[in-house]
Amino acid sequence: MLEDLLGSQNLEAVFGPHAVEGVWPLPQAFTSSPERYPVNSQDFYFVYGRQSAAQQGCSVLDTAFKRYFSLIFPDHNSGSPADRLSWTIYLVPFCVPDNLSISAGKASLNAETVWGAVRGLETFSQLVYQDDFGSYFVNKTEIDDFPRFQFRGILLDTSRHFLPVQAILKTLDAMAYSKFNVFHWHIVDDPSFPYQSSTFPDLSSKGAFHPMTHIYTQSDVRRVISYARLWGIRVLPEFDSPGHTTSWGKGQPGLLTPCYKGGTPSGTFGPVNPALPSTYRFMARLFKEVSSVFPDSYVHLGGDEVDFHCWRSNPDVRVFMQKMGFGGDFTKLEAFYIENIVNITSALNKTSIVWQDVFDYHERVSTPQQIWDLQVVKAGLRVILASPWYLDQPGPTHNWARYYTVWPLAFKGSEEQKKLVIGGEVCMWGEYVDATNLTPRLWPRASAVAERLWSDEKQTSSVDKAFPRLQDFRCKLLRRGIQAEPLYVGHCKHEYQGI
Amino acid sequence: MITTVRWTVLLLALGFCRGLKHNYIDDYEVVEVEEDWDLVFQPSEHGSLWPLPQKVQISDVSFKLMSSSFRIVDAKQSSAGPSCSLLQDAYRRYYEYMFGSAKRQQLYKSRRTGPTELTELQVWITSPDSECDGYPSVTSVESYELSVDQPFAVLKAPTVWGALHGLETFSQLVYEDEYGTKSINSTQINDFPRFAHRGILLDTSRHFLPVKVILANLETMAMNKINVFHWHIVDDPSFPYLSRTFPQLSRQGAYHPYTHVYTPADVKMVIEWARLRGIRVIPEFDTPGHTQSWGKGQADLLTPCYSGAKPSGTFGPVNPILNTTYDFMKLFFGEISTVFPDAYVHLGGDEVDFTCWKSNPDIQKFMEQQGFGDDYSKLESFYIQKLLEIVTATKKGYMIWQEVFDNGVKLKSDTVVHVWIGGGSNDEMSRVTAAGYTTILSAPWYLDYISYAQDWQKYYKVEPLNFNGTEAQKKLVIGGEACLWGEYVDATNLTPRLWPRASAVAERLWSAKDVTDINDAFNRLSMHRCRMVDRGIPAEPLFSSFCPREYKGI
Can you point out the beta strands (E) in A91-250? 99-103, 106-110, 129-130, 136-144, 151-157, 182-186, 234-238
Task: Choose the closest CB to A164 out of B488, B537, B554.
Answer: B554
Q: Which long-range contacts (CB under 8 A, 24 or more apart) does A320-323 make?
A: A320/A274, A320/A275
What is the reported pLDDT for A383?
87
What is the reported pLDDT for A281?
97
Gap between the terminal Cα atoms of chain A: 48
Alpha helix locations (H) across B471-517? 471-475, 494-498, 501-510
The shortest C-alpha distance from A368 to chain B (Å) reads: 17
Interchain proximity A372–B238, CB inside 8 Å: no
DSSP bridge pairs for A144: A29, A99
Q: Are B135 and B160 in contact (CB under 8 A)?
A: no
Q: A440: alpha, beta or left, given left = phi > 0 and alpha = psi -120 to 50?
A: alpha
What are phi and psi for residue A405, nearest 5 degrees? -95, 40
The catalytic position among A3, A35, A305, A495 is: A305
Task: Choose the closest CB to B487 out of A167, A439, A488.
Answer: A488
Q: What is the mean pLDDT of residues B430-446?
A: 95
One-letter amino acid at B42 equals Q
One-letter amino acid at A28 equals Q
The shortest C-alpha distance from A402 to chain B (Å) reads: 5
Query: Domain coordinates of chain B in residue numbers?
Result: 55-100+114-191, 197-535
What is the reported pLDDT for A499?
78
Q: A305: alpha, beta or left, given left = phi > 0 and alpha = psi -120 to 50?
A: left
A84/A175: higher pLDDT: A175
d(CA B283, CA B233): 7
* A411: chain B residues, CB-CB within 8 Å: 20
Nearest CA in chain B to A386: B13
- Is residue A496's pLDDT more than 70? yes
A15/B339: higher pLDDT: B339
CATH class (in words) of the domain with range A151-480: alpha beta
pLDDT tens digits, one per residue of A444-463: 999 999 999 999 999 999 99
Interchain proximity B552–A164, CB inside 8 Å: yes
What is the reported pLDDT for B206?
97
The catalytic position among B45, B176, B351, B463 is: B351
Task: Choose the closest CB to B212 out of A161, A485, A499.
Answer: A499
Neighbours of B365 (CB within 10 A): 11
The continuous run of DSSP H or E covering A379 comes out as none
Interchain proximity B540–A436, CB inside 8 Å: yes
pLDDT confidence of A380, banded at 50, 70, 90?
A: low
CATH of B55-100+114-191 given 3.10.28.10, 3.30.379.10, 3.30.70.260, 2.30.110.10: 3.30.379.10
Interchain proximity B491–A191, CB inside 8 Å: no
What is the reported pLDDT for A498?
85
The continuous run of DSSP H or E covering B211 comes out as helix B211-223
pLDDT tens digits, one per residue of B494-507: 999 999 999 999 99
Question: Which of B260, B493, B501 to mutate against chain A (most A CBs within 10 Å)?
Answer: B493
Q: Give the gyration radius of chain A's Cα atoms.
A: 25
Task: Choose the closest CB to B9 out of A164, A304, A490.
Answer: A304
pLDDT confidence of B114, banded at 50, 70, 90?
A: low
The Cβ-side half-sphere exposure at B108, using a 13 Å CA radius, reads: 21
Interchain proximity A190–B9, CB inside 8 Å: no
- Is residue A429's pLDDT more than 80? yes
Task: Choose the closest CB to A495 out of B210, B544, B545.
Answer: B210
Interchain proximity A402–B552, CB inside 8 Å: no
- Chain B within 8 Å of A440 (Cβ-Cβ)? yes
Interchain proximity A387–B497, CB inside 8 Å: no
- Chain B within 8 Å of A147 (Cβ-Cβ)? no
DSSP bridge pairs for B78: none
Antiparallel, parallel or unpaired: β A369-370 and B344-346: unpaired
* B17: chain A residues, CB-CB within 8 Å: 372, 387-388
Q: What is the mean pLDDT of residues B210-233?
A: 98
SS3 A210: coil
- Is residue B3's pLDDT more than 60? no
Nearest CA in chain B to A393: B452
A4/A20: higher pLDDT: A20
Neighbours of B101 (CB within 10 A): 7
The shortest C-alpha distance from B3 to chain A (Å) reads: 8
Q: A476: alpha, beta or left, given left = phi > 0 and alpha = psi -120 to 50?
A: alpha
One-letter amino acid at A365 equals V
d(CA B494, CA A386): 28
Task: Choose the closest CB to B550 out of A164, A484, A491.
Answer: A164
Enter the ipTM. 0.83
Neighbours of A2 (CB within 10 A): 14
- Chain B within 8 Å of A430 (Cβ-Cβ)? yes
What is the reported pLDDT for A370?
58
Nearest CA in chain A to B217: A499
- Is residue A376's pLDDT more than 60? no
A29-76+83-145 and A151-480: identical CATH topology:
no
Question: Which of A489, A493, A494 to mutate against chain B (most B CBs within 10 Å)?
Answer: A489
Question: What's the whole-model pTM score?
Answer: 0.88
- Is residue B115's pLDDT more than 80? no
One-letter amino acid at A253 equals P
∠ CA A268-A269-A270, nearest 5°, is 135
Task: Choose the closest CB to A387 out of B17, B259, B491.
Answer: B17
SS3 percent helix, strand, coil of chain B, rounded to 5, is 35, 20, 45
* A356: chain B residues, CB-CB within 8 Å: 13
Interchain proximity A161–B14, CB inside 8 Å: no
Neighbours of B109 (CB within 10 A): 10
Query: Domain A29-76+83-145, what fold?
Result: Chitobiase; domain 2 (3.30.379)
The shortest C-alpha distance from B74 to chain A (Å) reads: 33
- CA–CA distance from B286 to each of A127, B324, B490 (Å)? 41, 18, 20
- Chain B within 8 Å of A162 (Cβ-Cβ)? yes
- Chain B within 8 Å of A45 (Cβ-Cβ)? no
- Burial annotation B387-413 (CB, 10 A radius, 16+ → b, else e): bbebbeeeebbbbbbbbbbebebebee
What is the reported pLDDT for A379?
55
DSSP bridge pairs for A102: A107, A141
Q: What is the mean pLDDT of residues A98-120?
A: 86
SS3 A436: coil
pLDDT tens digits, one per residue of B366-382: 999 999 999 999 999 99
Catalytic residue status for B463: no
The shortest C-alpha distance from A324 to chain B (Å) reads: 29
* Nearest Cα residue to A136 out of A96, A99, A85: A85
Antiparallel, parallel or unpaired: β A136-144 and A129-130: antiparallel
What is the reported pLDDT for B305?
97
Q: How many CB pairs under 8 A join A and B?
A: 182
d(CA A40, CA A30): 24
A374/B550: higher pLDDT: B550
For chain A, give the mean pLDDT.
86
What is the reported pLDDT for B297?
96
SS3 A32: strand
pLDDT confidence of B480, banded at 50, 70, 90?
A: very high
Neighbours of B121 (CB within 10 A): 26
* A244: chain B residues, CB-CB within 8 Å: 2
Domain B197-535 has CATH 3.20.20.80: yes
Neighbours of A485 (CB within 10 A): 29
The shortest C-alpha distance from A116 to chain B (Å) reads: 29
Q: What is the mean pLDDT of residues B177-197?
A: 93
Q: What is the mean pLDDT of residues A364-380?
A: 49
Nearest CA in chain A to B30: A393
Interchain proximity A192–B546, CB inside 8 Å: yes
* A209: chain B residues, CB-CB within 8 Å: 546
- Is residue A360's pLDDT more than 80? no
- Is residue B25's pLDDT more than 80? no
Interchain proximity B210–A431, CB inside 8 Å: no
Instruction: For residue A177, give every residue at least 6 positions away whose Cβ sits within 8 Å of its Cβ, in sequence order, or none.
Output: A122, A476, A477, A480, A482
Residue B291, class by beta-carbon neighbours within 10 Å (0-12 exposed, 13-18 middle, 19+ buried)? buried
- Is residue A169's pLDDT more than 90? yes
- CA–CA distance from B495 to each of A440, B195, B447, B489 (Å)? 11, 24, 12, 9
* Nearest Cα residue to A116 out of A45, A52, A50, A194: A52
Question: Which of A425, A428, A495 to mutate against chain B (most B CBs within 10 Å)?
Answer: A495
Interchain proximity A411–B20, CB inside 8 Å: yes
pLDDT tens digits, one per residue of A340-358: 999 999 999 999 998 877 7
CA dihedral B291, B295, B297, B299 (to 10 degrees): 150
Q: A349: alpha, beta or left, given left = phi > 0 and alpha = psi -120 to 50?
A: left
Query: Domain coordinates of chain A in residue numbers?
Result: 29-76+83-145, 151-480
For chain B, give the mean pLDDT.
89
* A487: chain B residues, CB-CB within 8 Å: 488
* A435: chain B residues, CB-CB within 8 Å: 538, 550-552, 554
d(CA B484, CA A107): 47
Interchain proximity B452–A402, CB inside 8 Å: no
One-letter amino acid at B23 equals N
Interchain proximity A432–B551, CB inside 8 Å: no
d(CA B260, CA A293): 48
Interchain proximity B492–A483, CB inside 8 Å: yes
Task: Choose the closest CB to B3 out of A431, A489, A493.
Answer: A431
* Nearest Cα residue to A255 out of A203, A211, A304: A203
- Chain B within 8 Å of A131 (Cβ-Cβ)? no
- Chain B within 8 Å of A269 (Cβ-Cβ)? no
% of chain B at pLDDT higher than 90: 81
* A387: chain B residues, CB-CB within 8 Å: 10, 13-14, 16-17
Task: Choose the closest CB to A161 out of B24, B212, B544.
Answer: B544
